[in-house]
Amino acid sequence: RSRKKVVSEFLFFEEPMAHVLHEKIAMERELRRALEKGEFELYYQPQIRLDSGTVTGMEALIRWNHPEKGIISPYTFIPVAEQTGIIIPINEWVIRTACQQTKQLLEYFPNLSVSVNLSPYEFENRRFVDKLARLLEETGLPPHHLDLEITERMAMDTEQAIAILTKLKAIGVTISMDDFGTGYSSLSYLTDLPIDRLKIDRSFVRNIQGKKDAILPAIIRLGHNIGVKVLAEGVETKTEAAYLRDKRCDEAQGYYFAPPLPYEAFLNFLRRQQRNELRIQEMK
């Protein structure tokens, strides 16, 4: 009797898990191959200063150009990459490519800064600080043109986060807190962390005409009170952009200005913007 039960439990629990594990292993192999074959590409989404309409920088967002499946979103493969550790070489590729391409853009647009997303796995890696310094040296990008995005989850162990961030800041890069407001850490850690910017998660930007109205202005003031810049993510409409500008939000990023764009298209966007054809003009 007991043997049969054990067998059925085994089948019930182990089979789906084995299946998931198998899929992860298969995807890890695919990701490794993608890296070797050069199937990854960085898209760039502009970050706009709301008072002037100037492009201050851009966020580098990875895409996987899969030969059969087409463009794959990072929401699909980044979690698996993190669980299997292959995120380390992928993010090395991301940082190197972002630094190289930004270095090229600086020739024409000397004030741009590029933001890259760090993964928790990497953030806690002792060798990351040295690796970052090496990549900056190798690519020749001056460190203050690189911004690293971390999340509240990575700052949960505040003491450790302060130690790591202090080392990173010593290199000369800036730090942004991504998806701000969605994490579960207490707010007290904020004043202790050496960060330069809060990126308000796009969930707060939705329905700003409605009841959530109380939250956005409060986050903007909080940021300014602790002496950091505030950027709103996921700005999709003129109403949202104008509202944020009125509330003194420093910067914005979102489909209203531009979606993430391949390098060449992003370069064209910068050129158009230089000729004052940007949508920010409509807000005036």
Q: One-letter amino acid identity for 248?
A: R
Query: At closest approach, how far in Å is the CB of 81 from ligand C2E?
Result: 8
- Which region among 26-34, 231-239, 254-262, 265-273 touches Mg ion (by CB under 5 A)? 231-239
- What does the alpha-carbon distance between residue 244 and residue 139 come to, in Å, rounded to a whole number? 36
Spatial neighbors of 202 by CB under 8 A, at least 6 apart, are 232, 233, 234, 235, 254
Query: At closest approach, how far in Å is the CB of 116 from ligand C2E?
Result: 6
The verdict on 47 binding Mg ion (CB under 5 A) reads no
Instruction: Provide φ and ψ at 176, rounded to 5°.
Output: -115, 145
* Positive or negative: CA dihedral 200, 203, 206, 210: negative
Residue 240 contact, options Mg ion, ligand C2E, none, Cβ 5-8 Å cut-off depending on partner type: none
Query: At closest approach, how far in Å is the CB of 177 from Mg ion?
Result: 9
- What does the alpha-carbon distance between residue 38 and residue 148 come to, in Å, rounded to a whole number? 23
- Which region among 17-25, 100-108, 159-167, 233-241 touches Mg ion (by CB under 5 A)? 233-241
Q: Which is nearer to ligand C2E, 108 or 255 (CB)?
A: 255
Instruction: Provide φ and ψ at 178, rounded to 5°.
Output: -80, 155
What Cα–Cα distance (Å) separates residue 74 from each residue in 58, 64, 71, 80, 257?
17, 8, 10, 10, 21
Measure the CA dihedral 202/203/206/212, to 10°: -130
Binding-site size for Mg ion (CB under 5 A) equals 5
The verdict on 251 binding Mg ion (CB under 5 A) reads no
122, 152, 178, 240: residue in contact with Mg ion (rule CB under 5 A):
178
Residue 249 contact, options ligand C2E, Mg ion, none, Cβ 5-8 Å cut-off depending on partner type: none
Scan residues 123-152 and list those touching Mg ion (CB under 5 A). Answer: 149
Residue 152 contact, options Mg ion, ligand C2E, none, Cβ 5-8 Å cut-off depending on partner type: none
The SS3 of residue 92 is helix
Q: Which is nearer to Mg ion, 78 or 164 (CB)?
A: 78
Are 230 and 198 in contact by the 8 Å Cβ rule? The answer is yes
Q: Which is nearer to ligand C2E, 89 or 192 (CB)?
A: 89
Q: What residues line the site for ligand C2E (CB under 6 A)? A: 45, 61-62, 73-75, 78, 91, 94, 117, 119, 178-179, 202, 234-236, 254-255, 260
Q: Which is nearer to Mg ion, 30 or 178 (CB)?
A: 178
**Secondary structure element (H or E) that encloses residue 42, with its range:** strand 40-49
